[in-house]
Structure 1
Amino acid sequence: MIQEKQKRQRGIVLTSVGLERLLTKIRETEILQNNGVRYTLEDLSDRIGLDPKTISKVLKGNIGLDKRTLQRCFRTFGLQLTLSDYTKYLVRVNQGEIQNPQSTIYNQIDWGEVIDVSFFQGRSEELAKLQYWTLQDRCRLLTILGMGGIGKTSLAVKLVNLVQDHFEYVIWQSLRNNPPVKELLANLLQFFSQGQAISLPERVSDSISQLMTYLRKHRCLLLLDNAESIFISGERTGHYQEDYQAYGQLLKQVGETVHQSTLVLTSREKPQEIAFLETSSLYVQSLHLKGLNISDALEIFRTQNCFRGSEADWQTLIQRYDGNPLALKMIATTIQDLFNCDIAEFLAQDTKVFGDIRNLLEQQFKRLSALERDLMYWLAINREPVSIADLQLDLVLSLSTAKLLEALESLVRRCLIETSSGETPTRFTLQPVVMEYVIYCLIEQICAEIVREMGTKPYIDYFLSPEEAPPSPAQTSKYLFNTHALIKADAKDYVRTAQAQLILQPIINELLRTLGTQKAIKDCLRRMLSTLQVQAPNQPGYIGGNILNLLICLQTDLTGYNLSNLTIRQAYLQDTPLQQVNFAGADLKNSVFANIFAPTMSVVFSPNGKLLASGHSNYEIYLWNANTGQQLLTCQGQMRFLWSLAFNPGGDILASSGEDQIILLWSVATGECIKTLSGHMGGVHAVCFVNSDLLISGNADHTIRLWDLNTDKCCRIFQGHNDAIWAIALSPNSRIFASGGDDFTVKLWDITTGHCIATLLGHTDCIRSVAFSPDGARLASCGLDKTVRLWDVNSGECIGILTGHTNAVFSVVFVGEGNMLASSSLDRTIRLWDLSLRQCVRTLFGHKNSVYTIAINPLGNILASGSDDQTLKLWDVTSGSCIRTFKGRLNWFSSITFSPDGQMLATGSEDRMVRLWDLHQGKCQTFRGHTDLVTSVAFSPNGRILASSSADKTIRLWDVSHGYCFQVLWGHAATVSKTSFSPDGYTLISGSHDGTIRFWNITTGQILKTLSEHVVQSIALSQDGKKLAVGSFHKTVKLWDTTIGQYCQTLQGHSGWAWCVDFSPDGQTIATGSVDGTVRLWNTTTGKCLHILQEHQNWILAITFSPDGKTLATTCTDCTVKLWNVTTGTRLLTLQGHKKWVMAIAFSPDGQTLASAGAADETIKLWNLEKKEYLKTLKADQLYEGMNIQGVKGLTEAQKVTLISLGAVEEPHLHRS
C-alpha cells in the first residue's frame, strides 16, 4: 500500500465560543430581517462578500483561514473578532482527507436513572421540533411541559438518543427526590470535570458560575427530569419550595448567558423564569405536550390484539382520555378485565369524562383490594425498585409469596406499577405521577388518623374530597399509621432523606394547619404513645417508630421520654440525643442508632462479600452485615493504634495489626482472639493472607515477615526497604507480593525464594497503599506525593500516573475486572478512574475529613470507605450514590486551654462543640457553630476572644463574655489542625492539612500571609512571636522566621511523624512529640537535640511546657500523663486515671493545676501538681446518657454494648413518665 504524503495545514479557525457568537448573531439577523427564514450559503455570500465555499469553511472550521476572512464575517454582523474567538489550526492530515477537529465528538454520557424507551410510539412532529431547536437553533433552554403520564420523560429520552452524538457531554438528572440545588450542581460539576481537580464552591452562585464556564467551553446536553417536584403544590404555578429558589437562578443564567450547550427540562409546571425568558430570548423554547393522536394511541391497544370497537368507538375512547398514554394503558386493563375487550360496552357503562389523571387514578384505586393498596403504599414509600423479598420484609403481617405475586401481577396488568427490565430478581416500582398520587393519599390518611386521636370531629370535613368528587380510597384504610413506615431508617441515605422531605415534613405541615401549633402535635403524639403502652404494648407495627420520627422531625427534646414496651421499628436515631429515655422492653428492630468508633483506619470485605470489617484508631474492630448495616461483633484486643485488617480466604478468620507490634487473629464467628503473633520490633502497618496457612506483615522496623499459622512462628524475613513499610498486596497467583513504604519505593518479592524481584522507582514521597489488578499484570501504588502510579508487573515500568487529588492519597483498589481503579485521599474525596482513558470519571464527595481507607466488595459494585470524620460509608460504584453511612460517636476532647486569668477552661471536642467551663461554679457554656470536629482552642492574650479551629475547614472567633461568634475565617482547603495568637493579639496563625500556614487579621478576617508546608498537624509560636515551629506528617520539625516569612531551620531525629510541638516560655527550647513514642528537647539556636524522653510506650499526642519553663507535660496513647524535668530530662511524675488515650493537656497560668482530656472516657481531669493528687473530673453528657435499654429486643449484643458505651444503662425497675 502506497502511503500518501502528509500535508501540514496552517491558519486559524473559530473556537467553539467564537462560532457560537457568530451563529447567534446570524440567527438573530434571520429573525429580525428575514422573517425567521434561514440564510443559505449563497445568501450569506451576498451579505459578507465572500465565496460560499469560504463561508462554509468558516462555519465548519475544517480548514485554517486567514484572520481577515474571519474579521470580515464578524464585522458583517456587527461583531468584533477577539482573541477568545479564534485559535491556531495545525493538524497533520493525509492528502485528500480533511479532518475537522470539531466534527468528531467523543462524548461522555451519564444516563443516571433514565427509563427504557425501546417501545416508543408516535411523537414525530414533536421530536422534529425539539431536534430543530436543539441542533439548528442551538437553543440554550428547552422545556417539555404536560400533565402527568403524557410522556414527557419518554420524549426527552428519545430526543437525547437522537442528538447525543452532537454533544461532548450528556447527563441526565432526576429531580424526583427533590435534590437541593447545591447537590445537583455538585453532581454536574463532578461530571463535567472528568477527573480534573475542582473545588466545589460554598456559595450556590459561584457553583452556577463554574457550571456556566463548562457550558461555554464545551457542547453539553443536560436533562433535568420531573422539575415539578421542586415547586410548591397548591400555589401559583412555577413557584419554588422554600430553599429551592436557587433553581430559578440556575435557569435564568442558562437561558440568558451566551454558551454552546442545551438544558432540557421536563415539568408539569412552567417555571416563572422560563415564562419570562421565552418572551425575550430566541434561545429559550417550550413545548406543550398534548395527548397522542388516534393512530399512535391505537398502538397501545394493538399490543394485546383483542380489543373490539368501531372507528367511532376508538375515537370516542381516545378523546375521552385526551390521548394520555398512561391513562390509556390503565383503562385498557379495565376494558379487558371487566368488559371482555368490548370498547362499546365500556363506553356505555362509563360516561364520566376524566379531565385529570388524578381522577383516573382515584377511580383505579377504588377497584384495588386492600393488599394491592398496601403494596402501592409500600412501593411509593420505598421510592426505588424493590423485590418481592423486600416487600415481604416490609409487611407487618406475613404473607405467602404466591399471594404477594398474585397481587403484584394484578397491579402490573392495571398498568399501575412497572417492573425492571432484565434484572434478577424482578423489581417493582411506580411511575412518578402514580407515586406522587399514592404519597398524597398516604399523607392524607395518616393526618386523618392522627387528628382523629385528638377527638376533633371536623377532621372528616377537612380531609374528605368535595361531594361531587369520588371519595379518596386512602380513607378506606384506618390503620396506615401502624402498617406502613413513613421513613425507613435502614434505607439508602438519599432515599431516607427523600422520605423525610416528601412524607414526614408534609405530614407535619398538614397537621400544623389542622392543629395549629407544634405543641398540639407533640401532645397528640405523646398521648398516642401512652395509649399504646396501656392498650397495645409491644403491638407489631410501625406506629411507635413513626411517632418517634415525627417527634424528631419536630425537633422535640426527647429527654426523659417513656418509650418502654413499645415496638419502635424504622426509627432513625443516629443524630438524636436520647438522654434519660426509657426503652425498657421495647422492640427496636430496624431502628438505627449511633455507633461508637474512632477514625476508621482500615476496612475490608469478607471473601463472600456478606461481611464488612472496620478497624479504628481506638483499637476496636467492628464486624457488620454488609447488606443490612447491622453491627454483629466487636473485637477488642489491640492495645495501641490499629492499622490494618485482612480476612483469610475462608472468611472465618480476621487478622489485625497495630502499633503494639503484634498481629492478632480473630474468630469471625465468636469475636474471640484465637492467636497472637509477635516478633516485629515496631508498629505493624500492613497484613495480608497468602492462604489459610501463611500470613505476610509489613513493619516500621523496615522488615516484612512471613508467618506460618500452624506453628505461629515467623518462617522468613524479607529485607530491603530502608524505612517503615506501610503497604502490602498479594498477586492473584499468590506467587509474588508487592510492598511500599516511607523510602518512596515499591518492591516486588518472590514468596518462595524471598528474593526482591524488582524495585519500582518514581514516587517522590512516602507510599501508603499498593494493589494488584485482577489479572496480576498491573500494580497500582499511591502515597503522600498526591499521585497514583500504575506499573507493568513484568517489566517494572511505570505505565501511567493518575493526578487529580489535592492531598496525600492513602488507599487504592482495583474495581471489577480491573478496568477501573478507586483511590482515597486526605482531600476528603474518593476518585474512580477509567484506566483505559487514564482519567477520573467520578469523584465521590461526602466525607468531611481525610479518607484513609477503601475496599471493594467481590462483585465490584459496592465500595466501602473509612474516614477521620468517624464515619464508614458504602457507595454504589455505578451511580456514585452513598448507600449507607455508619456514624461513630466518640466524644473525646481534642483540645484544652486555660483562660489567661485561670478562671475558665476552654475545650474543643468531637461533637462539634466548643465548651467554656467555669472552674469555680462548675457551670459549662456551650458554643455551637462548627459542623465537624473541633481540633483546637486558643485564648487571645487578654482573654476576651476564643479562637476555635475545626475539620470543617474554618476558624471561628468567639466573644467570651457574650458567648457569640463574631467572625468566621474561611480560606483553608482542609482540616485546620491548630491555631495560635500573636503576642499582641491582633494576628491569628493557623496550620492546616492543606499544607499551608496562614496569618489572619482578626479584625477584618483577611489573610495577611501564607506559608507553604507539608500536611501541618501542629504549630507553636514563640512568646516573642518571631519564630514558628511546625510539626507535620514528616519526621522533621521546621522552624520559620515569622518576621520575614522564611524557613530557617530543620530539626531531624524522629523516626515517625512529628505530631506535636511547643516552645518553652523563654524561647530557648523546643519540645517535639512523635508517633515513634519519643519526646525530644532541642536547643532553638543550634538545633541540637538536648534530651530524648523515652518512657512512653506509644504515640505522643500532646506536649506543653509549664509557665516557668522548668517542667514539660506529655501525653500518649498509653493512657498516662508524664511530667519531666526540662533541664535533666528525667521523669518527675506519672499521672494515671484515664481509661484510654489522653488527647490534650494544659497548665493553669500559675502552674499549680494541670488539666488532661481523655478520649474513650470523655472526661477532663484536673490535677493539683503541688500535692501531686487528682482534684476533680469534668464530664459532658453523652448522646445516650441514662437511656434505659433493659430487656430490649431487635438489637444484637454488639449493638447493646455500643449503646452502653454511649451512655445507655440497663436498669430493671427504671420507669419514667
Structure 2
Amino acid sequence: MNYRFQNLLGAPYRGGNTIIINNTLLISPIGNRISITDLIKSQTLTLPFQSSSNICKIAASPDGLFLLTVDDNNRAQFINIPRRTVLHRLSFKKNVGCVRFSPNGLFIAVAVGKLVQIWSSPRFRNEFMPFELVRTFANCNDKVTCIDWSPDSDCLLVGSKDLTVRLFRLNKDKGESKSKPFMFLGHRDVIVGAFFGVDRVTKAVDKVYTVSRDGAIFSWRYERNDGDEVEAPGTPDKMEVDGDINVKKRKNIEGEGLSLLSEGKWELVKKDFFMQTPAKLTSCDYHKGMEMVVVGFSNGVFGLYQMPDFVCIHLLSISREKITTATFNEVGNWLTFGCAKLGQLLVWEWKSESYILKQQGHYFDVNTIAYSPDSQLLATVSSGFCFVTFSEHTNAVTALHFMASNHCLLSASLDGTVRAWDLFRYRNFRTFTTPSSRQFVSLASDQSGEVICAGTLDSFEIFVWSMKTGRLLDVLSGHEGPVHGLMFSPTNAILASSSWDRTVRLWDVFDGKGSVETFQHTHDVLTVVYRPDGKQLACSTLDGQIHFWDPIDGLLMYTIEGRRDIAGGRLMTDRRTAANSTSGKCFTSLSYSADGNYILAGGSSRYICMYDVADQVLLRRFQITLNQSLDGVLDVLNSKNMTDAGPLNLIDDDNSDVDDGVDKQTRVNSSYDLPGSMPNRGRPIVRTKCLRIAPTGRSWAAATTEGVLVYSMDDNFIFDPTDLDIDVTPEAIEAALGEDQPTRALILSLRLNEDNLIKKCIIAVAPVDIKAVVASVPFKYLNRLIQTFAELLENCPHLEFILRWCQVSLYHMHTLD
C-alpha cells in the first residue's frame, strides 16, 4: 500500500533545453517531470512532482540550489534542488521563449512573447510575494528567442524573431529613461543565440556574438567614442608603450555597464558562416572562459568552433534528426546534446573525443517490461541507466520474459521471431522461428527453462520450442482469436493461455494431451496470470471485469467489476463526458503481489488499480500522470478550446516554425491493439500497456505512455540479498525476543526488512535499553528505523516511548555525521 513514485525510465529526453549544474549534475526535462543525472556516479533520479504539461524551458541559479521550470501551459515552478521540493509557483500570460538567471542570482529574465520581464529571484526567506516584477522591456517587434546576461548582471542581450538583437540595461541612470536600446542588425533569419564576450585578462565585456538560424555568426566589438578601440583578445596590446591609458580604458568598460550603451558604440567586425545549407541552425551555446561556441543543426550535425578566429575544432554527426539542445558545462570540457525526436541525450568530452553519457529512450511507446528474478534488472534499471540495447528485431517487440537463471532474456516480436539474449556477452545466441511467418504477441517459459512457448496474433496458435536445440516441438491449436496471454503455472507444467475468442485454456505441454480445461467468458479475454503459489488464475476481459479461477477444480472463485474504478479521463474525440462514458475502459495487464493477497491492474486509463483479492475491494488507485499534454488526463475539457473546425488541439498547423524541440508526434495504435479502438490523431493517449511487480514485492513498474514508471515502498532499496544468510528468518527473530536479546532481534528484523517484525522488536525494547540498542544499529539501517517511527506515531498509544526512540536515534545520527 505504501508504494511511492521513485523513477521514470525509458525516456531520458523529450524536448526543451538541458543544463549542467555543479559541473557534474545534468538536469533535463522528461515530459512533465525533471530528471537529474549524476555524470560521475552514473545514476539518475526523477523528481517526484509533476507539472501540468510538458516542460519546455528550464534555468538554474548560479549556485545550483534553485531551478525554474516552465511548461507548455506557461506555468512555472520554483524548485529547491537539494530538497527536491517546489517552493513557489507562477503563471505567465503568454508563451515563454527563454528563461535565464542573472550571474549574481538576484534576478530572473523571462521572455514572455514580445516582452522581457525581469523578476526578483525568491530566496530562502519567507515572503508574501516571492516573485516581484522589477522591470519590463517592450522594445521587441516579435517573439523573444534568446537572452544573455552580462557578467555584472547589469546588461542583457535579447534576440527575437524580428531578426535583431537588442542591448538593454537593467539599472537606470538619470536621463536614461528615454534612451533606446542599441540594436545589432544585419541578420537574415531568426536569432537563435546572442552572447557577451569578455576579455580573458580583465574579464570585461568587449565583444558580442550573434547567431541566426540560417547558420550565420556575427562578431561585434566595442569601440569608444574618441576613436580608440578596445583591443580584442589575441591582438597585441600597447601595454608597454601607453599602459596607463589602456588600463584606464579597460576600467571604464569594466565599470557598471553604462559604457556599453552610452560611452561608445558597437562595430560589426566580421561575418562567419557554418556552411550547412540547407540545414537550419537549431541550438547553440557559448563558453566565455574558453571563447568557444557549439552549434547544432537540423540534420543532426554539430560543430565546435574557437572564437574569435572561427577555427573549426570538431564537426561531427550524431544523428539524422534535429539537435534540439547543445550546451557547455561550467568548466567547458563537456558538451551536452539532445535530440527530442529520438529521445537521445549525449554528454561528450571534446578533448578526448569520448562519451560521458549516451542514453536513448524508446522511439515509440513501451509495450512490455519484465523483472529479473533478483529484481535488479528491468530489461532496463537499478541505476536508471540503459546499459545495453538489443536491436535485432525488425518489428515491434510485444513480450519479454526473464529466465529463472537470471542470465537470459527472451523476447517475442511481430517480425515472426522469438529471440534469446545472453546477458553476459550481450548477444542473440538463439532465434526461434516457424515454418511460415507469424506475428507473436505473448511469451512464456516453464520453470526449468527447457520449453519456450509463444502465442500468435494471426494464426491463433501456440508454438512450443526446445530451449537447448531451438527446434519446434509442437503447435497447440484450439483458440479462435489472437492469443494475447500466456503463463506457466509456478508449481507444475500446465500452461494457461487467454484469447480474444472469450476463453482461457489450460494445456499439458509435456504430455502432449492438448487442451485439458477451458474457461468460458462472455467477452474477449485480454490477459491471464497465475498467483505465485499456482492455486489461482486471474484474467481480465473487455467489459472491464477481473475473473479469478481455481485452476485445479475449474471453478470461478471471484469477480471484480473494475470498469468504474478504471474510468476517468475524456478524450478529445469523445462525444460524451467522462462520467457517462465507460466504453473501452478495461484492464490489459495484471500482476499479483509476491504473497498473492493483492493484484495490480492497468489498461486504457490514467489509473492503475490495486485490489484485495480475498475481499474484492479497491485498495488504492495510482494516477500515472498529470500531464495535460497527453489525451485522456482531464475529466472535463475546456470549452474555450472548441472551434468550428473541432478541438483546437487536433488542428494541424503545418506552417508552424516553432523550433523549441517539443515534437508532438502522432501516435497511431498499432495493429495488435484492442479491437474497435480508434486512433487519436491529436495527442498521445495516456494508458498502461504492461505491469510487473518485482519478485521481492518492494517495487513495481508500469510501461505507460509517459515511459516506464517505477514505484517503490522505500526511497532506496534496503533489501540486500548479500546481507542475508540462512539464520536471518522470522523464526530467528522470535527466538531472539524469547531469549531477551532485543538488540539482535532488531538488527535481524532490519536486515529482513519486514515492517511488522521491526515494529514488534521496537516495542519489545525496554526504555532504559533504547540508547544501547540504537548505538549497535548499523548506520545504513537508521533511515529505515526513522521511517518506522513515523508510521508508529500515527497509531501507537505509546507516544512518549516512540518519541524517546526518535530523540536517541536522531542524536546518534548527528554524532555519526
Please give the range of the TM-score, normalised by the shorter of the 2 chains.
0.3 to 0.5
Higher RCO, 1 vs 2 (CA within 8 Å, ≥6 residues apart): 2
**So what's the TM-score if we normalise by structure 2?**
0.39
Q: Which of the pair has more CA radius of gyration? A: 1
> Hey, which of these two has a bigger chunk of helix by percent?
1
